[in-house]
Structure 1
């Protein structure tokens, strides 16, 4: 009997487990099952299987957070995989196409969508690392690239509509499929968007070149053989977008050819082969937009047809069912009997729910187990355990929940089940015996973080839990895995990779101060020494005392230095007004001549006194500066300021005050009026003497040159408040003072500024920069643009690998964290000027930086350009360690600029003169001229010169890869000057067009405006110093500290040179600069995690998740699903500290 009873009881237990897996039970009376399945259907029709890849649903079913169901027959494989691969690397897109063209046509072993998925993943995974392949497989499940495929459909429709075909041409069908289905679909669902375009002329592929469409390969080949120059007069080229796939061999200056079609069709293969060959020959810029026209499903094989006619169910959109407010009822337990007994008449109603079970439904499904089911029901009814909870039973419910999760075999699954099915488990949770260690640790942690607070960080960077969703999280994880994959290919140890990914970039300072300390600053007052401020208090701690709003603090200390940079032709009445009203601020001016600065810019940033001597006679601003300096030296600074005020007063009082031009008689009258009461000799005689003798001319020019080098001349008139740049208005002065006040108060409070501190020197020494350039300083309007240098190098790109770098004297063997890559157009004056500034920058000295040059040339390139490049390459490769190598290069560039850039081609020196000059300068700078003679003379013999002068170089630049010199047998490789290759690399990698000069500092791209541009400016060596300082302190320094500690394994010790380590730092810093993530972090390590935390260790993972979670909160409900998804597909290491609310 006992055996039978035990057998029956076991059956009941098994039955209970089966029922729990199929039903959701909750602890309230009169409940209904909450099992809800939700599918979100896209407003566009299914995209072909060969265009998009799918996978099994990523999450198990849960009743309160439902992810949309994904059906196998709606998956769209390869093209979505293309899009995802192109997101990882542009070249992977083309590699996958080539791979699929070789093996993709054999679909005999693909009998289902799942078979196709396995087949495509097999080929795609061979291009990716293991973790990236797993993440990409999951991304396919989310259908994240499907909207882009719909965009391609719309572009395909626009392409066809640009060249309307006859109506009957659309009646053809490549596979015999009735097109009426699409029409019916449109009628049934008017909101449907992105429907596949109809097959034009029964063709599945076509090429759009702007002037016409080609549906046959023969037509395209005929067009390619003709003269297809890019000229706006002939036709409008198709517009390209950032998301377009441009073949890496395409010529940037060639006509655009866009292939619309689907991989897997025969026409796609034929067009692709033709266009790839044309791109390699420089004939077209080849672009692919994957589209499968309606009616072509039968042309792409088994994998391409699956899903083409099915509606698309979107995956990954979380649907939170708002049912929790119906799950609980508060009752007065003094009037309600606890539990339900067998004598209760409600027990006869089998439709009533008992302990989460509706037995009428169970009996319908399992009639053969009626006796066992009823016995189980009687057991539940007779149980003394009730679902009704008393208030005191909720006291430690949060702590008990944390304990249940931590002790579970699968903590993440347990957390998801609890917070998404809480009513069904609340009774068992409340009965759990609480471990005091768990409770004590949670309470201790909550002294450092508020109870119920939830936080999450990915590799140290905080994530906004309110805004995070699955798509955004996957993008962040992909970003980290991609960086880890790049770093592993650089042979970095895994521990170093994790350290790099977890390090936080120092906060970027927005308080760059222009170091204007110079003798060219003319101060009007000095609060510490002038008699008019003698009665003010000198205690600097008074700045900490509270005052009424708007009240000023009158302290006899130079705390605020308001220096105006202005052309003296403008008004300074505001400065004198503030001064006369005893404003507690030190005022000063730096004067410059706008006209003279324009001359400096035209001369390339250099001051040539002989060239501008005669022009100064018409420069009224320069004359005012000279007179101002004379009055200051002979009669004091206040008289000099009075002279400036008199000029503006006379101009204002004049009857011709509407004319803004400054007349000479205003200057003369102001000078006479200022000196008349003080001068011993007549002011008129002094003025005539100063005008004729050009006295103080050098000081005037140096003042303007100083402003030019500061970089603030483009701002017209500006205010430097302790070095911070503001505009010159009165409101700006007050705002600048209010902005600076808290910084000074903070340092006074902490004792960093006292009565003996020179505030200006302290600020400028700490944060001062020698030049203001809004393109470089973060406070500017231009947002920095970064490009990773690692991908092309790891992909075998040879341009960067062949660069020989220049260094400051005596630092060749030192590691250089900062790398300046210059894109220099040798045919432009701007390019040569940039090159010379970089050389002078190294001459001045830089311990942390090196310079590499990428030479390009315009269509008017000639032999002299090639000779300069060749000379530069020989010098950098063979003589970079020589003491005078930089002086030699600067002299060569100077000679080249004077004789080949500034002169007309007809007046330019002969190429032989350049070669002779190189020999002469090499000997003068202690360099062996033999190397230059052997490399220049032999390579450039007379016959080659004749050929190049007749257009050989022109042919080269326009696309010809070889020069036909029958007698000399010399090809372009001997020149070692492939301008086309460099231009293609710059455009493809950095978006730098031909003829544009640029500076690329560890991946940061700064374009140099041409001289003809309205915002043209000279890029000086000081700008390179500024770039070096900003990038090193903010993005590179912490990387250097990590790389210096690396123990290299598996690398030949002979390879571990300073150049190798410098390259590693350059590649790492450029890649990490492209990372888009929060700059905020939290110190999760201070929280205890011994008893109340979920810790999942994975030393092989590059992803680490830190989280603080309240498992019984909406954020906990959200994070539990996201964390479980990551654990399944990414396998990160996790440290999740549970932080429940205190009941």
Structure 2
């Protein structure tokens, strides 16, 4: 008897949608065919109410929607009867939430609620509620002033949390389901809260208020300066309704800052009504990520094959049915044609049946398996479902796939596409932006889709056509540039050498193409061309500044192919310039003893004298001698005698008269004083004085160390080589002029030119307009002369305190920025004022608003406003209140200046003569509330908001050049490509009288601010170059604002993952899709 062992291996792949956040897996499998595996993943925390989850999902869309949802639900619960089934409640919640959203967002809202994606947020509120109850300070007499409060220890009891559990639901304190935390007390009854609200003295008391977070729900009518009152409770309970109505009224009256943290304490499920507790009583099953189960089955069977008859197998049930196809053969027909070969044919059939059972495939059958799979998917009635089924059940379908007849057109198109993309490569892009397939999961994908749908909804409400919306969403933002160059070209730059003219470089080669020749690593290219300009900005009286002089001298003496130079400044003079608001007035320094004793200014003046009379080399030698004498002295601190000795020592061999006499004459006559001051002012305006000392390598701002210089050369070399190779730089090109003209900025400001992980803060302005905010709608703008009717892509909003010196300085800089001229920008001003603002401050605001509204088109309007601000600053800001002029003097001055600048004074006389009423002060408070809620700008803090980019001005001076820098940076990287799209829009259904330059400029401001807030990749791919006629899944939806481009290998792990994600998107979002199949080559 022969014993035959047969091994059978099968791998079962199962991809289910379930979230692996944290949980226990319960797997049930039945030992029957087909084998079935069920997986359920449950969270560690108990269930959370679907009603509260719905509110959290809506708050992600808009803060106002959260409160609208609460108010609407309270109204519905009062007017409609209770729903008694879970299904009815779910439908009711979805209907109520969806009514606040557009159709596309409503569909995503339904799916997100099904996913339970907001449940973790409610768990966080549970933890905060537990802290509110447990961390309250103990008191022997109870913590309520009126005797009705509950002691914290009594409320919490002796509860001990299990450290292994997450988000334990707090127990209801003494059977109460809601409470209000004000920091000093907890109120469990509305009567306690009302008593507290009615006590004005107690409301004003200072105490430690509860900490608020970005995710907290702050009522929009709340007074930001009022005490915080946090309501812990669940929508649907009677106590929540009572507390909510009381706190809303208090918020409107300015008594409290009302915050809601949704929590349904344990034991209150019966108090919330049937719909309020749905989801809270059951364990939480979560879905989202893929789970792959790989099962390996091995069996050994012993058979006695001596009894097997010819053409008969003992264990296959299909043996007697010869008409059934076996691996492509129908043996009944073969036997009819060749009856004399029955024995051989049946033996061949036995072999095939044995091969079928072992599920092995011959190599030749795998030849076109990838192409056949692609054809199967494309030809299916539901391609995405087909791709998912093939991915998840590949072992059971591979045999039928291998027998499919392949269409040559499919194969040829796949091969043609694979000339442009590697076989098996998978890519995916959402509205043109690439997505990292390795990191993406259902939740991240839904967040990205929600972001795009929200933007599309905002743009549609701005009356933008659907085609324009899709074009905007598919626009890829240019990558941020890190090659900003400071344009330092000025007579204040003192060059040490010139590679193109100095005699010491005459033996160097002048052929610029030598820079393209290979050299040994670390070897320099000695070319007689000023390719690298290393300019050190330093204070010559500091140790670090003098050390930089030695660094320059060392590199120069070692013949480095670099042109060296310095820009000198005085730190003391920079401080005075900052105190004077960025201006230099000679009268401020005429009798200033500190300026006369300033070592830095003296060195600069002596350096300039030496350079003019004895040459640049001698002037740098003077600086080197100062450092040498400093080092040789016992005290390394620089003293005045070091400077004098170095000057005498440097000039002694150069002059006939005694150098001491020259020195005394220079010190007495203050020769070159103006040049030294202008040099410091130039450094201040460049914006690099705060860096202490720095290196400008062809304009790039770097550290001044030796290592930084060498690294800067290596970084700059490839850029120069590229331009030499393409002929953009030749022997006649001034390299420095070329670089600074193309990418140079007039001022360096690290708040604006950010690098590394620090990112600017952006806020959407469209949401404020769509939310009913009227502050921006009522705003009038200023423009550069003769540009009022032009569309302005860039909008600067200056948020400033009119009662502060810094605020008026910012206002004047904004006006001067426009006077110097800007074709692309406009300026709007958002005035705030302190509570004790006097009448003159109110009058200045009114004057400004009248001018912007009525005279912005006048030629001298900017000069008028600058003169008014100057008068206000000198007579009201810089003087004490007692010495300040009267308000009538200000009004009279406004009349005079208006007439002098050819503006009619009638509008001012009719408005300024009236006493400011309470409504105007309320308007200023409204602006302050808007700035804090929308941008997080606190009262008294000045800021510049450029198309949604918020730049807070806490310290330092902000100049008009900074506004120009902001304009340049933002227009180049965020605004230009969007403005071009908006300006080409064919506005249908819009009143032609509304289509003004202001209207279009507003649309650009709103759109660019919203686009800047979305987080997505700046990388893209050209999917359109791939053919998609025979081997691609194309699902068109012209009404959808979501478009998916993908390249997928259907038989890869990425294909497994993407097939499920794409099916979900197709079901709930209905995007347009173009999926090019890219299988591996067999």
Give the TM-score normalised by structure 1.
Answer: 0.85
Q: Residue 1036 of structure 1 is aligned with which of 969, 972, 975?
A: 975
Pair 1:972-2:882 in alignment: no
Pair 1:516-2:488 in alignment: yes
Alignment correspondent of 1:219: 192
Asked whether the equivalents of residues 62 and 420 of structure 1 are also in contact (C-alpha less than 8 Å), the reply is: no
Specify whether residues 262 and 696 from structure 1 end up closer, same or farther in structure 2 by C-alpha distance, changes over 3 A only.
same
Alignment correspondent of 1:466: 438
Asked whether the equivalents of residues 229 and 255 of structure 1 are also in contact (C-alpha less than 8 Å), the reply is: no
Give the Cα separation in 2 of the matches to 1:673 and 1:821.
Answer: 56
Where do residues 762-801 of structure 1 align in structure 2 (5 Å cutoff)? 762-779=738-755, 782-801=758-777
Q: How many residues align?
A: 1012
Give the Cα separation in 1 of the matches to 2:784 and 2:36.
Answer: 67
Alignment correspondent of 1:287: 259
- How far did 1:340 drift? 13
Give the Cα separation in 1 of the matches to 2:797 and 2:210.
Answer: 33
Asked whether the equivalents of residues 435 and 1017 of structure 2 are also in contact (C-alpha less than 8 Å), the reply is: yes
Where do residues 417-816 of structure 1 align in structure 2 (5 Å cutoff)? 417-569=389-541, 570-571=545-546, 572-615=549-592, 616-657=595-636, 660=637, 662-779=638-755, 782-816=758-792
- How far did 1:162 drift? 2.6
Give the Cα separation in 1 of the matches to 2:1017 and 2:849.
Answer: 42
- How far did 1:66 drift? 6.5
Specify whether residues 483 and 707 from structure 1 end up closer, same or farther in structure 2 by C-alpha distance, changes over 3 A only.
same
- How far did 1:62 drift? 12
Deviations 1:839-884 (A, max 9, x none): 0000000000000000011233111111110010000001000000
Deviations 1:294-348 (A, max 9, x none): 111111111112332322111223212234xx48999xxxxx99x9997222247
SS in 2 for 1:346: coil
Q: Residue 147 of structure 1 is aligned with which of 120, 128, 132?
A: 120
- How far did 1:667 drift? 1.4
- How far did 1:510 drift? 0.6
SS in 2 for 1:252: coil
Pair 1:262-2:234 in alignment: yes
Pair 1:984-2:929 in alignment: yes
Give the Cα separation in 2 of the matches to 1:62 and 1:1025.
Answer: 69
Q: Residue 205 of structure 1 is aligned with which of 174, 178, 182?
A: 178
Q: Residue 381 of structure 2 is aligned with which of 393, 401, 409?
A: 409
Specify whether residues 62 and 283 from structure 1 end up closer, same or farther in structure 2 by C-alpha distance, changes over 3 A only.
farther
- How far did 1:1024 drift? 0.3
SS in 1 for 2:958: coil
Q: Residue 57 of structure 2 is aligned with which of 62, 84, 89?
A: 84
Specify whether residues 37 and 704 from structure 1 end up closer, same or farther in structure 2 by C-alpha distance, changes over 3 A only.
closer
Specify whether residues 1130 and 579 from structure 1 end up closer, same or farther in structure 2 by C-alpha distance, changes over 3 A only.
same
Alignment correspondent of 2:99: 126
Alignment correspondent of 1:1001: 946
Give the Cα separation in 2 of the matches to 1:579 and 1:988.
Answer: 57
Asked whether the equivalents of residues 565 and 589 of structure 1 are also in contact (C-alpha less than 8 Å), the reply is: yes
Q: Residue 835 of structure 1 is aligned with which of 811, 815, 826?
A: 811
Asked whether the equivalents of residues 506 and 1034 of structure 1 are also in contact (C-alpha less than 8 Å), the reply is: yes
Higher mean alpha-carbon deviation, 620-629 vs 1023-1032, is at 620-629
Specify whether residues 692 and 146 from structure 1 end up closer, same or farther in structure 2 by C-alpha distance, changes over 3 A only.
same
Alignment correspondent of 2:345: none
- How far did 1:216 drift? 1.2
- How far did 1:193 drift? 2.1
Give the Cα separation in 1 of the matches to 2:524 and 2:999.
Answer: 58
Give the Cα separation in 2 of the matches to 1:776 and 1:795.
Answer: 29
Alignment correspondent of 1:966: none
Alignment correspondent of 2:343: none
Give the Cα separation in 2 of the matches to 1:271 and 1:586.
Answer: 74
Pair 1:236-2:208 in alignment: yes
Give the TM-score normalised by structure 2.
Answer: 0.90
- How far did 1:972 drift? 2.2
Pair 1:1083-2:1027 in alignment: no
Asked whether the equivalents of residues 41 and 313 of structure 1 are also in contact (C-alpha less than 8 Å), the reply is: no
Q: Residue 840 of structure 2 is aligned with which of 849, 864, 884?
A: 864
Specify whether residues 129 and 37 from structure 1 end up closer, same or farther in structure 2 by C-alpha distance, changes over 3 A only.
closer
Where do residues 948-963 of structure 1 align in structure 2 (5 Å cutoff)? none
Specify whether residues 102 and 730 from structure 1 end up closer, same or farther in structure 2 by C-alpha distance, changes over 3 A only.
same
Asked whether the equivalents of residues 9 and 298 of structure 2 are also in contact (C-alpha less than 8 Å), the reply is: no
Q: Residue 111 of structure 2 is aligned with which of 129, 134, 138?
A: 138
Q: Residue 1018 of structure 1 is aligned with which of 948, 952, 957?
A: 957
Alignment correspondent of 1:103: 76
Deviations 1:559-603 (A, max 9, x none): 000000001113111111111111110000000010001000000
Give the Cα separation in 1 of the matches to 2:49 and 2:265.
Answer: 14
Higher mean alpha-carbon deviation, 298-307 vs 265-274, is at 298-307
- How far did 1:190 drift? 7.2
Asked whether the equivalents of residues 763 and 934 of structure 2 are also in contact (C-alpha less than 8 Å), the reply is: yes
Higher mean alpha-carbon deviation, 837-846 vs 289-298, is at 289-298
SS in 2 for 1:304: coil
Unaligned runs of 5+ in 2: 1-5, 25-33, 143-155, 326-348
SS in 1 for 2:443: helix
Q: Residue 217 of structure 2 is aligned with which of 228, 242, 245?
A: 245
Deviations 1:644-694 (A, max 9, x none): 11111111111222xx2x322111111111111112322222122211222
- How far did 1:632 drift? 0.7
Pair 1:400-2:372 in alignment: yes
Give the Cα separation in 1 of the matches to 2:619 and 2:481.
Answer: 38
Asked whether the equivalents of residues 17 and 289 of structure 2 are also in contact (C-alpha less than 8 Å), the reply is: no
- How far did 1:544 drift? 1.3
Specify whether residues 320 and 856 from structure 1 end up closer, same or farther in structure 2 by C-alpha distance, changes over 3 A only.
same
Give the Cα separation in 2 of the matches to 1:79 and 1:88.
Answer: 15
Give the Cα separation in 2 of the matches to 1:511 and 1:630.
Answer: 36
Asked whether the equivalents of residues 452 and 1140 of structure 1 are also in contact (C-alpha less than 8 Å), the reply is: yes
Give the Cα separation in 1 of the matches to 2:352 and 2:524.
Answer: 79
Where do residues 369-380 of structure 1 align in structure 2 (5 Å cutoff)? none
SS in 1 for 2:939: coil
Unaligned runs of 5+ in 1: 1-26, 46-60, 170-181, 331-335, 357-379, 941-970, 1010-1015
SS in 1 for 2:1038: coil
Give the Cα separation in 1 of the matches to 2:829 and 2:279.
Answer: 51
Asked whether the equivalents of residues 820 and 999 of structure 1 are also in contact (C-alpha less than 8 Å), the reply is: yes
Q: CA RMSD in A?
A: 3.0
Alignment correspondent of 2:150: none
Give the Cα separation in 2 of the matches to 1:1134 and 1:797.
Answer: 37
Specify whether residues 641 and 848 from structure 1 end up closer, same or farther in structure 2 by C-alpha distance, changes over 3 A only.
same
Specify whether residues 672 and 140 from structure 1 end up closer, same or farther in structure 2 by C-alpha distance, changes over 3 A only.
same
Give the Cα separation in 2 of the matches to 1:305 and 1:921.
Answer: 69
Give the Cα separation in 2 of the matches to 1:123 and 1:224.
Answer: 33
SS in 2 for 1:305: coil
Higher mean alpha-carbon deviation, 192-201 vs 1091-1100, is at 192-201
Where do residues 800-949 of structure 1 align in structure 2 (5 Å cutoff)? 800-940=776-916
Give the Cα separation in 2 of the matches to 1:873 and 1:395.
Answer: 77
Deviations 1:973-992 (A, max 9, x none): 3x376221111111100011
